[in-house]
Chain A
C-alpha cells in the first residue's frame, strides 16, 4: 500500500475492487467503517460476487471477471471528459505535461514495437521528446529522512513539456485520446456493469478530484490474477493521480496482501527479478558493476528531478555486495559483482515449474508453500513435481505437495522423486518481523520453545549451506567463490539469530562498526554494508525500532509514528509531498500530509528533501527520473504497454469490443500450454473465478479444527438462473469442468452471482470456486482432490508473470 490500514479512516470514498476485505481482512476493513461513520464516506464494491463487503457498501457493481482495465479506462475517460481531474495537482505532480516521442504509436490494440513472433515489445518508442543533453550539473541535497548526501545528476536529457497540457503529443492529450473509446456504454458492454450503475460510481468517485475530497482504491488478488493484472493496477494509479489522490492521507493505491509477510519477503527479494530493496537482478551482458548501474538506475528526465533512487543505485548495490561478500568484495574485483547470478529469462513461478516439467530443473524447495494447490493447472504442476530428482518441503504441517506422490489417483511407483519433509517451527515459536500491507514492520517474540524433532528455517538453511560449503572446500566444483566467501558473522553459526540478521539488513558503517540511521549514509566505496536499504533505520544504535509500542498520535490522522516502524524511514504515507501545493500548503488543511512551515516540511516523515523550500521547485516524486508521478510509463517499466489497454482474458465468451486484438499480446505462454486453452465459449460457456472465504487462509487452515468445522466442505457458488437451467439444486452436487480438469462439490445456488448482460445483449453466467481444499488435511483428507486450481489456465501476465487464476471458462453440470 502507498498508505496504511489506520489511514483508511481519512477517506471520503472507496472503490474496493477484486477484494473482499470484510471477509478476508476484517480487522483492517473496520477503518473503512470508521470513515463511513465519521466522514460519511461512500463505499463502492466492484466484484463478480455479492459478498459481505458488498453488504456494507453503498453500491455493489457486479463485474465480469478480467475486465477491470475497461472499468478503470471508463473512469479515466469520465474524469477527463467531465473535467473532474485535479488540474493543479496534475500539472504539478504528474507527467501529464510531458511530450511523447513521435515514434510512439497505438493502433488497434497494439502499441508500437510489437514483435508478433516473439510476443515481446521493443519499448524504445514509449518515450518522451527530449531536449539536447544538458551538461550542467544539477545538484541538490538529498532526500528522505534527513540530512545529507550529495546527489549529483550526470549528463542528462530533459523531457519537453507543455504546462498548458494542450500539445497534441502531451501525455495528457494522449490519455484523452486513448481512453475516448472507453465510453460508459462500451464499458458496460465489456464489463457487464449496467451503464447507469457505472455512471453512478463515476460520479461519486470523480467527485474526489477536488482538493478537499480524497478517494481510496483498495484491491487484492482479484485484480492481480489476470493476464492484464499489472495493467489493472496501473489503471488505479492513473485514476488516482488524475484525481489528486496519491500522497494524500485517505488516498493512494492500496493492495491488501493475503499472507502475513508477503510484503516483507518481496522487499527482501524472494523474487527472481529483484535484489533486496527493489533493485533489478543483473542480466546477461551487464559485465561490470557500472554497466549494471548504468542500465538500471533511472536517469533524470527533468532538471527539477532529484532522481533519488537512480542516484543512489550504485551506493545501494555496493553496500549490498559488501554485506554478502565482506572482505572478498573489493574495489579491485568490482565488489564481487560477477558472482551475482544473471537470469537470462523470466524465472518466476510458472517458469520454475515448467523447467521442472521439462526435466531441466533437478531440485525444488516448497517452504511454507504448496505448488499443487496453487497451480495453475494443478495436474500440470503434479507432472512438474514428478519430474524432479529431489523435492524438499519445509513446513510445520503436511501439504498437498508434500503428499503429491501418494495423492488419490497417483501411483507412487511412477514417481521417482526423492522427497524430504523437514518440519519447521511456526510463527509463534520464533522472533522476526512481519511487514503488513501498510508497510509496518512489527516485531514478534517467541512464545513457545520448539519441540525436540523440529527446527527453525534458519537452522535448516544454515546447515545445508555450511555442508555445501564444506563439500566445495573438499571437492571443488562450479564457481565456489560466492559460497566460500559469503559473510557469516553470526554469534551462533549453526542457527543465525534473527536479531542479528535484522541488524545485517539495517546495515553498518564498516569504519565505526555502528548501525546506520539512514540510507542516505550508504557509500559506494565499500565502507558501508547494508542488506536492504529500504530497512535502514529499522534497527539502529537506539535499538529495534520495529518493536516499538508507542500509541501517541498527535495529529489524530492515525500515523502512529512510534508504533513499530514503517519503510522507508518510518514514513507512513508514500509520495506525501504530493499532498501539498506548489507553495507547500496542504491541499486540504483538515488533512495535511506534509506542510512547509517556512524552514522545514512537517507532519508525516517527508517523502522529500526535508529542508527544500517549495520555491526551489524540486519534483515531488523523488524516486522517479521525471520527478513526478507517471500517468504514462515510459520504456521498459511495464512490458505490455505504457498505459493500460483492455484485452479479453485468455479464455473469454466474447470478442474484444475495444480493439481487434482479442487477448493480451504479451502474455507469457509456456510450452504446450496453448493447447489447453479454450478458444471460445462453445464447449465451456461459463466464466469462473476463484476466491477465499473468511474461515480459511489458503491451504494451511485445513489443519485447524475450529475452522474446518466452521467451513467444512468444498462448494461451488452459482447463480439461480444457471442452476435452474442445468437442473442443479441448492445443496446438491455439481461438476465443474475446464479444458484442464474437473472438480465436484456441493452446489451453493445463490442470487449473489447474477447473470450479466455483455456485448450486444449476450447473457454471461459466472461461477465462484473457493480455493482452500485438498487431500492432505481437513474433510478432504485422503479423498479425491477438489482443488480449484485443477481448472485454471497456465498463462502469465506479460509484465508480472502472474497466472490467470480468475476469469477462465468452464462448463457446469449436475453431478
Chain B
C-alpha cells in the first residue's frame, strides 16, 4: 500500500491510538514516537542563555545542518529551543517569553540589510554596508571635531559632546565592554544603557 502524506494525515485525523491501529492494521505508536524524534534527532544541541529578563535561564537550541549533520543540501536551520535541564537556576523550565524565543530568532520582521533615510525624506532606501559605514564615520568625525571640548578653563577635560551612545542590554558583556572602550577613546561622555530606564 502506498501511503501518501495526505492519506496519513486523514488517517491520523480519524483518531489516535486504537483508531490508527484499525485503519492501517498495525500499531502506529512507534511511528509517532519516531516522527516526534526526527525533528531534533539529527540536530546539534547548542547552549545559549535566554535574551529576555535577567534570571539567566539556560536554553538549548537545536540546529540542523551544522557540523556532523551538515550535508551538501542543508543549511543551518533552527528547529527548536527549550530550557536546559542541567541549569541549577531554571532546571529546564522557561516562561512564555523564553518558550517562544524561536520566533524572536527566526522572524520575518528582521531588517535584512542596512537602510538609510535622507533628511526630509518620507522613505527608507537601501544602502550598502560600505557606503553606510563610510558616511557615518565621516559624520562621527565631524561631530566630534565640531563639539570637542579640550579644556574647561585651565582643566584638561578632552570631552566629545558631539554624539552619544545609548545601548540596550541584550548584548553580551564583551560587546558592552568593547563599546565602552571605543566610545571613551572617542571622548564620548554621553554613554548610557538600559539600567536607569
Contact = CB atoms under 8 A, between A and B. Distances in A.
A453 interface: yes
A413 B156 CA distance: 41
Contacts of B50: 260
A398 B54 contact: no
Interface stretch (B8-16, B18-26, B98-106): B98-106
A271 B191 contact: yes
B31 interface: no
B129 interface: yes
Nearest to B164: A352
B167 A367 contact: yes
A177 interface: no
Contact of A451 (B58, B112, B127): B112
Interface in B107-130: 107, 109-122, 124, 127, 129
B37 interface: no
A432 interface: yes
B170 A422 contact: no
Contacts of B32: none
B71 interface: no
Nearest to B75: A449
Interface stretch (A356-364, A605-613, A627-635, A647-655): A356-364
B69 interface: no
B86 interface: yes
What secondary structure prevails in chain B residues at the interface with A? mixed
What secondary structure prevails in chain A residues at the interface with B? mixed
Residue of B86, B175, B179, B186 most packed against chain A (CB within 10 A)? B175
B116 A420 contact: yes
Contact of B111 (A281, A397, A449): A397
A398 B111 contact: yes
A496 B178 contact: yes
Interface stretch (A42-50, A121-129, A692-700, A720-728): A692-700
A271 B140 CA distance: 20
B103 A704 contact: yes
Contacts of B29: none
Interface in B46-73: 46-58, 61, 63
B117 to A, nearest CB: 4
A409 to B, nearest CB: 14
B54 A6 contact: no
A46 B48 CA distance: 34
Interface string A458-486: 10111111011001100101110011001
Nearest to B99: A706
Nearest to B111: A423
Contact of B171 (A265, A349, A406): A265
B17 interface: no
Contact of B196 (A349, A417, A478): A349
B144 A478 contact: yes
Interface in A197-243: 224
Contacts of A465: 182, 185-186
A418 interface: yes
Interface stretch (A106-114, A680-688, A795-803): A795-803
Contacts of A435: 54, 56, 173
Contacts of A28: 53, 55, 89
Contact of A800 (B48, B148, B190, B196): B196
A398 B124 CA distance: 12
Given A271-B191, A412-B122, A532 B177 contact: yes
A155 B107 CA distance: 61
B193 A352 contact: no
Interface in A405-448: 405-406, 412-413, 415-423, 426-438, 440-442, 444-448
Interface in B156-187: 156-182, 184-187
A485 B50 CA distance: 37
Given A27-B94, A437-B54, A267 B190 contact: no
Contact of A348 (B163, B179, B192): B192
Contact of B158 (A342, A440, A694): A342
B163 A270 contact: no
A27 B158 contact: no
B88 A560 contact: yes
B179 A468 contact: no
A361 B141 contact: no
B197 interface: yes
A714 B159 CA distance: 42
Given A368-B169, A457-B171, A265 B51 contact: no
A154 to B, nearest CB: 25
B136 A464 contact: yes
A83 interface: no
A416 B119 contact: yes
Interface string A258-294: 1111111111111110011000010011010000000
A558 interface: yes
A287 B151 CA distance: 11
What interface size band does chain B fall in?
Answer: 35 or more
B38 interface: no
Contact of A472 (B89, B141, B174): B141
A140 to B, nearest CB: 31
A780 B113 CA distance: 24
Interface in A374-425: 374, 389-390, 392, 395-398, 405-406, 412-413, 415-423
Contacts of B97: 694-697, 701, 704, 707
B56 A447 contact: no
Contact of A365 (B96, B116, B165): B165
A434 B56 contact: yes
Contact of B172 (A416, A431, A461): A431
Contacts of B174: 432-433, 458, 498, 501-502, 505
A366 interface: yes
B110 A423 contact: yes
Contacts of B116: 418-421
B120 A260 contact: no
B111 A420 contact: no
B194 A369 contact: yes
A100 B63 CA distance: 63
Given A27-B89, A284-B157, A260 B190 contact: no
Interface string B146-157: 111010100111
Interface stretch (A64-72, A333-341, A577-585, A594-602): A333-341
A342 B157 contact: yes
A442 B58 contact: yes
Residue of B83, B110, B121, B173 most packed against chain A (CB within 10 A)? B173
Contacts of A430: 172
B95 interface: yes
B189 to A, nearest CB: 4
Contacts of B168: 259, 367-369, 395
A437 B56 contact: yes
A486 B181 contact: yes
Interface string B69-95: 000000010100101001111100111
Interface of B: 46-58, 61, 63, 76, 78, 81, 83, 86-90, 93-98, 100-101, 103-105, 107, 109-122, 124, 127, 129, 132-141, 143-148, 150, 152, 155-182, 184-197
> Closest 9 CB pairs between A and B?
A368-B168, A432-B172, A436-B56, A264-B173, A363-B163, A257-B54, A467-B137, A453-B113, A478-B148
Given A258-B54, A496-B178, 17 more contacts: A5-B55, A261-B176, A263-B54, A269-B180, A272-B192, A344-B157, A349-B196, A365-B163, A368-B168, A421-B115, A422-B132, A427-B170, A433-B174, A440-B89, A448-B105, A549-B86, A694-B97
6 contacts: A259-B194, A260-B49, A271-B191, A436-B56, A440-B89, A502-B173
